[in-house]
Amino acid sequence: MSTQYYVAQSLDGYIAEADGNLDWLTGYPSEGGGPSGATDGEYDRFFAQVGVIAMGSATYEWILDKVDSWPYEGTPCWVFTSRELAVPDGADVRFARGAVAPVLDEMRAVAGERNVWVVGGGDLASQFVGEGVLDELILTVVPVVLGDGLPTFAQRHADNPLRLTATRPFKNGMTELRYEFVR
């Protein structure tokens, strides 16, 4: 089991425009990819190994606002927030406050042998890195330059080295980079 941040970003390191807009990603040709824009069925293979999802409140609210139905039905999801938020029909959503490491123990127990997917955003991913509990970064780089936006990580993590474990180019120009955190 691994705790993974699986995310798509622009060439210049942004996961969304400053206002949260993802048109640059959702409109990019993906040749059979999933909602993150990965191609060749990679998203489906990735998601088949996910037992639990973690996301920040901004990502959760974006999904509630922009997506017609809950896309992760059947997969428990922890939303890290200090506010009370609605839960869509059919969703197994649990709310968490504070540090991620104590909650991760419960998430891993629920995930069993499957992985924990940190959906995002950059703030939550930075908390996982900062607490030393993120195992892997799976980054799909989209050949688009946004110039500004929401960064892949919200904080500097120069003291958390990564080791490249795999690269995979896709026919549509995207490239998947897999890194593991060196501890």
The DSSP string of 113-129 is TSEEEEEE-HHHHHHHH
The C-alpha atoms of residue 43 and residue 74 are separated, in whole angstroms, by: 17
Predicted pLDDT at 161: 92
Per-residue pLDDT at 150: 96
pTM of the predicted protein model: 0.91
Tens digits of per-residue pLDDT, 98-126? 999 999 999 999 999 999 999 999 999 99
Mean pLDDT of the 26-55 span:
77
Query: Where do the structural domains in the chain lie, given as residue ranges?
Result: 3-181
Neighbours of 9 (CB within 10 A): 23
- In sequence order, the β-bridge partners of residue 40 are none
* pLDDT score at 36: 45
CB contact at 8 A, 40 and 174: no
What percent of the chain stands above pLDDT 70?
A: 94
CB distance 53 to 28 below 8 Å: no
Kindly tell me if the per-residue pLDDT of 61 is higher than 50: yes
**168: pLDDT strictly greater than 50:** yes
| More confidently predicted of 106 and 35 | 106
Q: What's the topology of domain 3-181?
A: Dihydrofolate Reductase, subunit A (3.40.430)
